[in-house]
Amino acid sequence: MGAGTWESHHAITTLMYRYVECIDAADFDGIAELFADAVVTNEGVETEITGGEAVKQLYVSTNRVHDDGTLRTRHLTANVSVDIDEVAGTATARSAFVVFQQTASLPLQPIVTGRYRDAFTRTHGRWHIVVDHVGDVREHLAFDLAAFRERHSS
């Protein structure tokens, strides 16, 4: 793996940044389009989510959309490192993220930090999210995270 072409690097980072725009805007159709050929995994969860419609349903069922039609979040992605194999048509990326949120009942604050570990191909992709820290997500998620963790911790 190496630096790859500027065009490939730009296409991959644009895809990464488009994802966070979609999630902040609660654009679940946009997420479905981005993940049409993807497999989404999450550390600590055994199931894989495959394909755009399944990924969309995951986001619809787990995220709280507020009165303004958004999640009232701002995802920031930083420290992006991309390795590209132009001959094989594959790439990997590592980055860090922080999610800020403000609602009527929640002051502006970071609610989640973590790492993205992504793999890309020119025709299919794999998206893997590692969550490092979780704060007050009661205004972000549509389910009780503590209960979920309790059920899936063993």
Indicate the helix (H) or strand (E) that contains 151. helix 145-152
CA nearest to 65, candidates 103, 108, 110, 112: 103
pLDDT band with cut points at 50, 70 and 90 for residue 129 = low
**What CATH number should be reported for the domain holding residue 54?**
3.10.450.50
* Count of domains observed in the chain: 1
pLDDT at 128: 62
pLDDT at 147: 77
CA 133 to chain centre: 15
Q: How many CA atoms lie within 13 A of 117 on its CB side?
A: 8
- 14-64 pLDDT, tens per residue? 999 999 999 999 999 999 999 888 888 877 677 888 889 999 999 999 999
Tell whether the model's pLDDT for residue 78 goes beyond 80: yes
Question: Which of 5-9, 62-66, 93-97 comes out lowest in average pLDDT?
Answer: 5-9
Q: Is residue 1 part of a domain?
A: no
What global pTM score does this model have?
0.85
Range of the domain at 56: 6-152
